[in-house]
Structure 1
Amino acid sequence: MKYPVYLNALRAFEASARHQSFSAAATELNVTPAAVGQQVRGLEEWLGTPLFYRSGTGTSRLMPTDTAQRALPDIRAGFDKLSIGLERLKQASTGGALTVTVSPAFAAKWLMPRIDRFHQAYPQTDLRLDTNLKALDFLASGIDVGVRYGSGDWPGLAAIKLADEEIYPVCSPSYLKRHGPFVDPAALAGHTLIHDLSMQNHPGFQTWRSWLDAAGFPSVQSERGLQINNSAAVLQAAIDNQGIALGRSVMMREDLTVGRLVRLFETISSPSKLAYYIVYRPECAELPRVAAFREWLMSEVN
């Protein structure tokens, strides 16, 4: 049986069902609400059955019919397969861009100092960086691969651990010379503590309070200080003598190596519950550029 091409109408239907709104679907698809409604009505006419009914009087919220609800998983899976097929066609050549999502801080402190080595290894692959603190929808945003910091569980994505991390206080050499020595964490009292708020709502993210408690110094006050929602800016504040930062080892490796920062209390070890992971859609695991970038990242931490 031959079917007419209704890909745009199916896309309009799927987006309308997901958002329960023609207007929201139109915004996503970059068309007018009228165009979305027309495409859905055309699909309904061809199928001979309604796909939506409105819930309640005086509301524009769309509710898919039972028939539509049953069909949606297969339609979404079909779009995923189409996307993968197009990606395979695009990546059949050695050219083109690889879209990578990382946090702004990870890009600045870890990825960018190393990225020239990737270009040398894969000169035909252009890299497009999406630096975003929000967890993006890889399929909708056209993301190939990313690096995320967390517990390793992101729905719909495969995750391979890239690097563990340790958390410890750091300051600039000049700050240490002027205010030190810091024999133990009790000496932190009265100093400006620089707080990293970039993942403050994640239950596994170390804070000054949790670090001091774990180190055995619950009496040291930690609430006040300089609060910054970017891990790279936290380290820069410490480099600029603004106070003492609770740093993340992966982020500040180069700063420690070249002497911009010094570690305090080296005998106190505090491994992070979180780690860095390479993430990608499972069905894209063997796409050439995704595999190449994944292998390059792993080589950089080994």
Structure 2
Amino acid sequence: MLNEEARRIAIYLNALRAFEAAARLQTFSAAAEELNVTPPAISQLIKTLEDYVGRSLFERSRSGVTLTPEAAAIYPQIRDGFSLLAEGLQRLRTALPVNVVTLSVTPAFASKWLLTRISGFSARYPQWDIRLHTTDRLVDFRSEGVDIGVRFGIGRYPDLTAERMMGEYVFPVCSQNLLDKLGKPSLSLDDIAFLTLIHDATISFDPNFPTWTSWLSSRGYNNIHGLRGMHVNASALAIQAAIEGHGVALARSRLVKEDLVSGRLVRPFDGYETSHSSYFVVYPHHATLRPQVKAVRDWLMSEAEEEQILTTYY
């Protein structure tokens, strides 16, 4: 049974929603548009709430509204409360068991890095399950029922907290069969002019990411056309093309470690480029992480710490 105070709070839920939207958007008209009501309706809801708490909540001006100091102090609690309500509603909609954590990653990161390690999470936390959500696009965590994710970029994602997980390094790779066909134990830069260059198009969002053009230019080979060759819009397929002997790929170290260990790929040149982008663990701003989600976050960070690829390959 709801007590009397809880009943009053339930009555003022719409007013609290109007308050949260107006505080975030800083105008009553924008809040009205978001909530699909009229600006006078927002004003009336705010007045109802102000009458209830016995004080003004906003300072009005020609340019919009700002919170009073007292209202600003409690706004984070109201905002976080609505975030929790939205999260709870989404969980009801997706109807996933509470012991399941939905982890969003790119297909390449899943197949080339995560799946070789995920059994370690299950062994450590047998009571919890991970549901993998794989896509190269940025997902809406709330509408798609995602708890936590790993993204490759510069760490700026709207409405998401991003914690740097690990950096990345880029170098050429090819198959041993390709070298055998050429009758060479390794490649020279002059060989590049006669080989197919494999490009991973999924990193085109980062203008600073090493490309064949920049890699060749940094080594004084400006006369070689760095854009020619095979362009692939899936990182794992670009790597597979190199494994199959179709050419030489510029690969991300984290995605080719197992292929280098197994001998499916080799490094035909010395040296590497450091990427400006990194891997980030991401989750919604202001979200209270459930214990199982926090466990996934901590496990991902610990796995990244144990990554010793620099020692092995550089």
TM class by shorter chain equals 0.7 to 0.9
Report the counterpart of residue 241 of structure 1 in structure 2: 245
Give the drift of 1:299: 2.3
Q: Which amino acid aligns with 2:197?
A: L
Aligned with 1:165 (options 155, 164, 168) = 168
**Which position in structure 1 is the counterpart of 2:56?**
none
Local SS of the residue matching 1:178:
helix
Q: Distance in 2 between matches of 1:68 and 1:251?
A: 49
Check if 1:270 corresponds to 2:297: no
Q: How does 1:105-124 map to 2 (within 5 A)?
A: 105-124=108-127
CA distance in 1: counterparts of 2:195 and 2:257, whole angstroms: 24
Residue matched to 2:215: 211
Secondary structure of 1:109 counterpart: helix
Report the CA distance between 1:67 and its aligned residue.
11
Contact kept? 2:206, 2:277, Cα under 8 Å: no
- Maintained 8 Å contact 1:186/1:220: no
Offset of residue 295 of structure 1: 1.6
Contact 2:83/2:287 (8 A) holds in 1: no
Contact kept in structure 2, 1:215 and 1:268, CA below 8 Å: no
2:293 pairs with one of 287, 290, 293? 290
Alignment: residue pair count: 271
- 1:229, 1:195 → 2: CA distance? 8
**Aligned AA for 2:218?**
A
> For the residues of structure 2 that align with 1:143 and 1:193, how far apart are their CA atoms?
36
What TM-score results when the alignment is normalised by the length of structure 1?
0.72
> Whole-Å Cα distance in 1 between the matches of residues 44 and 85 of structure 2?
29
Matches within 5 A, 1:185-196: 185-196=189-200
Give the residue type in structure 1 aligned to 2:257. Answer: R
- Per the alignment, residue 55 of structure 1 pairs with none
Q: Do residues 135 (structure 1) and 141 (structure 2) align?
A: no
Q: Hey, what's the Cα distance between the residues in 1 that align with 2:246 and 2:286?
A: 46
**Equivalents in 2 of 1:205, 1:77: separation in Å?**
40
Assess, with a 3 A threshold, how the Cα gap between structure 1 residues 123 and 83 changes in structure 2: closer, same or farther: farther
Name which of 255, 259, 265 aligns with 1:255: 259
Deviation, structure 1 residue 10? 8.5
CA contact (8 A) 2:20 2:79 kept: no
Instruction: Return closer, same or farther for 1:87/1:123 CA change in 2, 3 Å cut-off.
Output: farther
**Residues of 1 paired with 2:64 and 2:13: CA distance?**
16
CA distance in 2, matches of 1:6, 1:239: 62
RMSD (Å), alpha carbons = 3.9
Task: Determine the C-alpha separation between the residues in 2 that align with 1:10 and 1:237.
Answer: 56
Mapped partners of 2:76, 2:40: distance in 1 = 19
Q: CA deviation at 1:68?
A: 9.8
Residue 51 of structure 2 corresponds to which residue in structure 1?
Answer: none
Deviation at 1:278, TM superposition (A): 1.2
Q: Tell me, what secondary structure is at the counterpart of 1:203?
A: coil
1:175 equivalent to 2:159? Answer: no
> How far does residue 87 in structure 1 lie from its aligned partner after superposition?
5.8
Which deviations, in whole Å up to 9, do the C-alpha atoms of 1:125-162 show, x marking residues without a partner? 12122212222233343322111111223233322222
Amino acid at match of 1:274: S
| Corresponding residue for residue 282 of structure 2 | 279
Q: 1:95 to 1:140 in 2, by over 3 A?
A: closer
Change over 3 Å in CA distance of 1:152–1:220 after alignment to 2? same
Q: CA deviation at 1:46?
A: 7.2
Q: Where does structure 2 lack aligned partners over 5 or more consecutive residues?
A: 49-61, 92-96, 307-314
Would the aligned equivalents of 1:285 and 1:291 in 2 still touch at CA under 8 Å? no
Change (3 A) 1:12 1:173: farther
Long gaps (5+) in structure 1: 27-35, 50-65
What is the one-letter code of the residue matched to 1:291? K
Measured after TM superposition, the shift of residue 8 of structure 1 is 8.3
- % identical equivalent positions: 39
Equivalent position SS for 2:132: strand
Which string of whole-angstrom CA distances, capped at 9 and with x for unpartnered residues, describes residues 199-253 of structure 1? 2132122211111112332222222111101111100111111111111100010
Once the two structures are superposed, residues 147-198 of structure 1 have per-residue CA deviations (whole angstroms, 9 ceiling, x without a partner) of: 1111223233322222221111111111111125344222111211111000
Letter in 1 for 2:220: G
Residue 156 (structure 1) aligned with residue 149 (structure 2): no
Name which of 195, 200, 205 aligns with 2:204.
200
